[in-house]
C-alpha cells in the first residue's frame, strides 16, 4: 500500500461531502467556516496519521490582518487535533505497508473525524476548545480573545490579550498588540 492509495481512498470519502483536495490536504467551506483534514506521513515514511481542524475566516483575519488565501492548512486552524486525540486521546499512526490502512482511515474519518469537525463549527464550541488548551503557545489565547470579542465580551478579550502581551516575547507580543488594535482594546 502506498500513500497514493491512502490519499485516493480518503478522497473517495471526502469529495462527495464537498471537500476539495490539494495533495494530501482537504478543505470544505461552510459559510465562514473552513474545515481542514490532512494526511501527515511520519518521519520514517512508513506511517501516516490524520490532522483535522476548523478555521473561522473572520477570526483568522483579525489574528493575521488578511483573509486566508487558497487552501487552509491545519496549523492555522482555531480548533485543531490529531486523530488520536479525537479517538482516544492517544497518538494514532497507521502503517503504510498494511493493505487495511485505507479502509481503517476511511472508517475513522466517518466515525470520529467528521463528527469532531461538525461539533467544532460553532463559536461556543471553539471557545470551549480554546479554554481547555493549556500551555504557553500564544496563538490559541489570541484566537480565544478574538472569539470572546465576537461574542460581545470585549472585557475578557482585552484581558486575555493583555496577559499574552505581558508574557509573550518578540513577534507574539507584537501580534497581541496588533490584534488588540483591530478589536478595539488598549492593552499597553
| Residues 101, 96: Cα–Cα separation, whole Å | 7
Please tell me the predicted confidence (pLDDT) of residue 136: 86
| Residues 26, 54: Cα–Cα separation, whole Å | 12
132 near 144, Cβ under 8 Å? no
For the chain, give the number of residues.
Answer: 188
Segment 22-30 mean pLDDT: 98
| Residues 78, 60: Cα–Cα separation, whole Å | 8
Q: Would the pTM count as exceeding 0.85?
A: yes
| Residues 69, 83: Cα–Cα separation, whole Å | 25
Strand 20-22 with 33-41, pairing: unpaired
Q: CA nearest 19: which of 36, 41, 40? A: 36
pLDDT at 100 over 70: yes
**Coil/strand/helix, residue 79:** strand
Segment 38-59 mean pLDDT: 96
In sequence order, which residues have a C-beta less than 8 Å from that of residue 93 and are 6 or more positions away?
A: 42, 47, 48, 49, 84
Residue 43, number of CB atoms within 10 A of its CB: 7
pLDDT at 1 over 60: no
| pLDDT tens per residue, range 113-167 | 999 999 999 999 999 999 998 888 999 999 999 999 999 999 999 999 999 999 9
Give strand ranges (E) for the chain.
Answer: 20-22, 25-30, 33-41, 47-56, 79-82, 94-95
| pLDDT tens per residue, range 51-80 | 999 999 999 999 999 999 999 999 999 999
In terms of phi and psi (left: phi > 0; alpha: psi -120 to 50; beta: otherwise), the region of 41 is beta
Mean pLDDT of the chain: 95
> What are the boundaries of each domain within the chain?
3-121, 124-183
Give Cα 32 to chain centroid, integer Å.
14
Please tell me the predicted confidence (pLDDT) of residue 188: 72
* Confidence label for 7 from pLDDT (cuts 50, 70 and 90): very high
Amino acid at each position: 500500500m502506498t500513500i497514493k492509495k491512502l490519499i485516493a481512498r480518503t478522497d473517495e470519502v471526502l469529495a462527495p461531502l464537498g471537500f476539495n483536495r490539494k495533495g494530501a490536504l482537504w478543505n470544505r467551506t461552510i459559510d465562514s467556516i473552513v474545515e481542514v483534514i490532512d494526511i501527515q506521513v511520519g518521519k520514517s515514511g512508513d506511517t501516516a496519521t490524520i490532522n483535522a481542524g476548523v478555521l473561522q475566516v473572520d477570526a483568522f483575519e483579525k489574528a493575521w490582518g488578511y483573509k486566508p488565501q487558497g487552501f487552509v492548512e491545519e496549523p492555522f486552524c482555531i480548533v485543531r487535533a490529531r486523530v488520536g486525540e479525537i479517538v482516544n486521546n492517544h497518538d494514532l499512526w497507521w502503517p503504510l505497508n498494511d493493505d487495511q490502512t485505507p479502509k481503517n482511515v476511511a472508517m475513522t474519518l466517518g466515525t470520529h473525524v467528521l463528527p469532531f469537525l461538525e461539533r467544532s463549527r460553532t463559536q461556543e464550541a471553539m471557545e470551549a476548545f480554546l479554554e481547555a488548551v493549556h500551555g504557553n503557545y500564544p496563538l490559541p489565547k489570541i484566537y480565544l480573545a478574538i472569539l470572546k470579542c465576537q461574542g460581545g465580551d470585549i472585557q475578557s478579550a482585552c484581558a486575555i490579550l493583555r496577559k499574552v502581551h505581558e508574557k509573550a516575547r518578540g513577534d507574539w507580543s507584537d501580534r497581541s498588540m496588533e490584534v488588540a488594535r483591530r478589536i478595539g482594546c488598549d492593552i499597553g
